[in-house]
Amino acid sequence: MVQASHARKVEFQYSYNQIEEQPVRKIKRVYKKTNSRKSILVKTGLALFVYAILVVYLCIKVSTMGYEIVRLEKDIDKLQASNHMLEFKIAEQISLDKVEIFATKQLGMCKPDISRSIAVAACKPETVNLASSTTADDIDKNKTNIGEKTLQKLYSNLMLLAEKK
């Protein structure tokens, strides 16, 4: 009995210890040495790939902008051509022949007679002295000069008309 109780005691202690204290698992961490060159190569490859995509995107943008420029230049040429056409139509509408027809037919104007036309000879204008002081005698002389000059101009115009006939 002693042996049985002793065996039972050992069994009981063993099973009690086993339940109470579970064996602690130790996790072994294994660190692998990574190749630093490999990671640098991967990062460099990724950077080059992103750079290549960026370059392709920019090339596409440049080519589309080139096509846009060509299209806009064609639009400018069309607008300039239409502008020239409008200028031509305006010049046609304000030509002297059209103005004459409009004036005679719609406004009721008539051409002047040749006998009513007056030719005036243009002469060089006289210079005026502003700084000089004038007296009453000078003013009287200028009035007579003005009347004489007017008569001379009238006479010269009559002579021009006589020469034209």
CB 160 within 8 A of CB 119: yes
Q: Which of 120, 125, 124 is nearest to 154 (CA)?
A: 120
* pLDDT score recorded for residue 160: 75
Considering the entire predicted model, what is its pTM? 0.38
CB count in 10 Å sphere of residue 163: 8
* pLDDT score recorded for residue 88: 92
Cα first-last separation, the chain = 175
* pLDDT score recorded for residue 8: 55
At 40, the amino acid letter reads I
The tens place of each residue's pLDDT in the chain, 165 residues long, gives 555 555 555 555 555 444 555 667 888 887 777 678 888 999 999 999 999 999 999 999 999 999 999 999 999 999 999 999 999 998 888 888 888 888 888 888 887 776 766 777 777 777 766 655 555 555 555 555 666 777 777 777 777 777 765
SS3 for the chain is: CHHHHHHHHHHHHHHHHHHHCCCCCCCCCCCCCCCHHHHHHHHHHHHHHHHHHHHHHHHHHHHHHHHHHHHHHHHHHHHHHHHHHHHHHHHHHCCHHHHHHHHHHCCCCCCCCHHHCCCCCCCCCCCCCCCCCCCHHHHHHHHHHHHHHHHHHHHHHHHHHHHHC
At 86, the amino acid letter reads L
